[in-house]
Amino acid sequence: MRKPTIYITRKIPEYLLEPFKDRLHITMWTSESKPVPKDILYEEAKKADGLLCLITEKINQAFCQYASHLKIIANMAVGYDNIDLESAQKNKIIVTNTPDVLTETTADLTFALLMATARRLIEATNYIYNDQWGEWSPFMLAGSDIHHKTIGIVGMGRIGEAVAKRAKGFNMDILYHNRSRNLEVENELNATYVSFEDLLKESDFVVSLVPLSEATVDMFDKKAFQTMKSSGIFINASRGGVVDEDALFEALDKKIIRAAGLDVFKQEPISSTHPLTKLTNVVLLPHIGSASLATREKMLKLCLENIDLVFQGKQPKTPIY
Ligand code: GLV
């Protein structure tokens, strides 16, 4: 019997593929670091029965119509704003993502980013590298406390909940805003559900973990930053599209808010000439939320398992619809 052909849009290690090779004919793009060019993606998708892709691939309506023969698209991410779900569904393509396996790792990074921003760790490191460390002085690199402050989490899904647990360990008060109430965090972590506006007004740390959708695009805009405390710190570990970056730049530059820690940007990758890199009150990371070796392996394994199950006529583990 012919094995289904799978195209993977990056080069991934052989040891991850090995367990699936009996049942799947696996082909992949030649680079680990560079995305597959669009023409090659189209060419390879035509020959494939299933696709394992990354957030760098735009799986839009045109692609779904062109590749409607695909049985499954396994997205190596929990977020799936790179995929036009309606078109995929219309073309009867199963779409899966990678929830759960990355929750704790992404929460770790989110909290690390919050701490690095509050305590000015990158500026502090650069002090040494740039020979700025003179005599010790009372307010040298004085940052913001984290313990006993108020964190406001926008988007109380799995990762939000894992961040809230970390915040609890720092004796923080937890506010959250979400499409629906999360009674578990209310009961177990004493988190309080508030309106978006109240969260912005009352939080020392505003943390975005909200997925990008039509409803959330640019939700952190000029008005949102003006509503935040002037001592407030904004952290974004979800998607750059939820932030109006010009408004954020202005808020940081004019000290309308104190600082921001960003793992995600509207247009990725950003370069060293991006306006935000000119500010000292930011910590900028290249979208590494789930980037621990173990978690990245788990994400790829889950994608391959989903594909394998679908070609065995079974339900994938983590379908999106
Ligand atoms: C990464 O950003 C993801 O959605 O998993």
Res 219 pLDDT > 90: yes
Of ligand 1's listed atoms, the one at least distance from the Cα of 299 is: 5
Give me the pLDDT at residue 198, please: 98
Name the class of domain 103-284: alpha beta
Q: What is the CATH number of domain 5-100+293-311?
A: 3.40.50.720
Give me the pLDDT at residue 217, please: 98
Helix (H) / strand (E) element for 259: namely: strand 259-262
Pairing of strands 173-177, 192-193: parallel
Of ligand 1's listed atoms, the one at least distance from the Cα of 239 is: 2
Share above pLDDT 90 across residues of the chain, in percent, rounded to a whole number: 99
Clarify whether 287 is annotated catalytic: yes
Q: Is the C-beta atom of 211 inside 6 A of ligand 1?
A: no
Quote the mean pLDDT of the chain. 98
**Mean pLDDT score, 97-121:** 98
Share above pLDDT 70 across residues of the chain, in percent, rounded to a whole number: 100
Protein residue with its CA nearest to atom 3 in ligand 1: 77
Q: What is the pLDDT of residues 239-255, one digit of tens each?
A: 999 999 999 999 999 99
Give me the pLDDT at residue 116, please: 99
Task: Determine the residue type at 49.
Answer: D
Q: Is the C-beta atom of 116 inside 6 A of ligand 1?
A: no
Give me the pLDDT at residue 1, please: 79
Clarify whether 148 is annotated catalytic: no
The pair of three-digit structure tokens given for residue 32, joined into one six-digit string: 């680990």
* Other beta carbons within 10 Å of 277: 11
Give me the pLDDT at residue 37, please: 98
Helix (H) / strand (E) element for 317: namely: none
Res 130 pLDDT > 90: yes
CA of 100 to the centre of ligand 1 (A): 11
Q: Where are the domains of the chain?
A: 5-100+293-311, 103-284
From 120, 166, 239, 296, the catalytic residue? 239
Say what the pTM is.
Answer: 0.97
Give how far Cα 53 sits from Cα of 60, 157, 204, Å. 13, 23, 37
Same fold, 5-100+293-311 and 103-284: yes
Q: What is the pLDDT of residues 64-92, one digit of tens each?
A: 999 999 999 999 999 999 999 999 999 99
